[in-house]
Structure 1
Amino acid sequence: MTDNLSLVQKRRQHLQSAVGELGALVIEALNRSVDCIKRQDLELAERIVAEDAAINRHRRMLEQDCLVTLAAYKPAGEDLRAVGACMELVSELERIGDYAADVARIILKNGKTPLPPEPVAAIVQLASDAIGMLAGTLSAFTSNENEAAIREAVSMEEQVDREEDAFIEQMLSRMRSDASFATTGTYLLWIVHNYERVADRATNVAERAIYVASGYTPDLD
């Protein structure tokens, strides 16, 4: 019985570590997408879109690994919750990776049309906050942190929402006063919404991490 428990725990640690590795790939893609916006680097945008396929493949392999663990090792209690959470989180992370690719596609669609520096700076700030939330929640999950630490990791969720609301109002105001800004403004609104969704999904990660640690799922959104 002791040996079986040890094997289950090793499998759980392996899966949580693998989720962390997938998360690192996603965070790298997000950071590169921010760099892409700042520099309007079309070549980098193309690479981000192309490399999204690797994140998708990683997700599928991890899902299979989780299923094998459930079938072969029959985890229970906190270990079962952790393996189930890993299955859900790989899906969340794959979708978050899509946001980085979506931002890159918008940059490609915009082409060489200059993006105004002030909205870009606001997007970079919001993106940094959202990516920080995701990194914090993933670290808490892979390190089996307690509920207080997990909640702290997503404490900026309301701040990100406020930043998006203010950004939307600024863009709409400028679009109303300057019709020629409509296309660029629309692209910027699409971009900022992708990063706000990163923050939303970071709270989903936090909810699953708290479920593993405590056995209940809070509503953090």
Structure 2
Amino acid sequence: MPDSLNLIQKRRLHLQAAVGELGARVVAALHQSVTCLKTQERELAERIIDGDLLINQQRRSLEQECLVTLAAYKPAGEDLRAVGACMELASELERIGDYAADVARILVRDVEGTLPAEPVAAIVELALEAIGMLEQTLAAFMANSNEATLRAAVANESAVDREEDAFIAQVLERMRADAAFAATGTYLLWIVHNYERVADRATNVAERAIYVVSGHTPDLD
């Protein structure tokens, strides 16, 4: 880090880097869960569930570092907003990681047999959109990007909501027509909702990042 940076600025950069590392682990878990949805590989599902413990530990460590920074360095202004945002993003990212683990648990513990290809493909498309939003938002946060860039990163959130609504309608229609599809349909609805929540929380991340650079918190929902 440049010598010209003062101690709090160095701490801020360190904490932002830690958020980036946690975010990368969460994004990797989400991509693994999409692969697991397509393959229904039990071993992969178990690895995702086990990996969630590491995400939880990393979150607690990052929160502790944020608290120590607040107490020891007493940041102000944008630095204070950044440290506070890092602590909040640790919680947001840990919860997003839970969605990947929840999908894996459904696949390994609830689903019996092979999920139908067409609804799985629809969920995968939605999931990749939501994960892409999170990736772009984290990249913008790490780069201290401006508000316009952060808003653009989550511009597809409404589209993801509409896709989920359309998917739910199709699955419910099939469930009404075929009672034997009820359990499978329920699992599909649980899974798609987890990925829709990724998009929602990516929007939360963008709101906190905008607060850091601008001092105000927009409502992006």
Same fold (TM over 0.5): yes
Distance 1:111 1:183 in 2: 8
Does residue 53 (structure 1) correspond to residue 53 (structure 2)? The answer is yes
Distance 1:58 1:132 in 2: 22
Does residue 42 (structure 1) correspond to residue 52 (structure 2)? The answer is no
Measured after TM superposition, the shift of residue 130 of structure 1 is 0.3
Measured on the aligned residues, the alpha-carbon RMSD in Å equals 1.2
Letter matched to residue 181 of structure 1: F
Distance 1:68 1:4, change over 3 A: farther
How many percent of aligned residue pairs carry the same amino acid? 74
Specify the SS of the correspondent of 2:191. helix
Distance 1:9 1:193 in 2: 39
Does residue 85 (structure 1) correspond to residue 85 (structure 2)? The answer is yes
Distance 1:198 1:178 in 2: 30
Distance 2:182 2:8 in 1: 55
| TM-superposition CA deviations, 1:88-126 (whole Å, max 9, x none) | 000000000000000000001234411000100000000
Letter matched to residue 166 of structure 1: A
Aligned ranges 1:68-217 → 2 under 5 Å? 68-217=68-217
| Contact 1:42/1:111, CA 8 A, preserved across alignment | no
Instruction: Extract unaligned runs of 5+ from structure 2.
Output: none
Distance 1:60 1:161 in 2: 31
Distance 2:176 2:218 in 1: 40
Distance 1:153 1:76 in 2: 27
Measured after TM superposition, the shift of residue 6 of structure 1 is 1.1
Specify the SS of the correspondent of 1:14. helix
Distance 2:117 2:91 in 1: 34
| Contact 1:40/1:112, CA 8 A, preserved across alignment | no
Distance 2:186 2:57 in 1: 31
Specify the SS of the correspondent of 2:50. helix
TM-score, normalized by length of structure 1? 0.97
| Contact 1:49/1:105, CA 8 A, preserved across alignment | yes
| Contact 1:66/1:83, CA 8 A, preserved across alignment | yes
Measured after TM superposition, the shift of residue 51 of structure 1 is 1.2
| Contact 2:111/2:187, CA 8 A, preserved across alignment | no
Instruction: Extract unaligned runs of 5+ from structure 1.
Output: none
Distance 1:16 1:38 in 2: 33
| Contact 1:42/1:108, CA 8 A, preserved across alignment | yes
TM-score, normalized by length of structure 2? 0.97
Letter matched to residue 102 of structure 2: D
Measured after TM superposition, the shift of residue 50 of structure 1 is 1.1
| Contact 1:96/1:201, CA 8 A, preserved across alignment | yes
| Contact 1:133/1:154, CA 8 A, preserved across alignment | yes
| Contact 1:38/1:120, CA 8 A, preserved across alignment | yes
Distance 1:185 1:113 in 2: 13
- Which has the larger displacement, 5-14 or 149-158? 5-14
Letter matched to residue 163 of structure 1: E
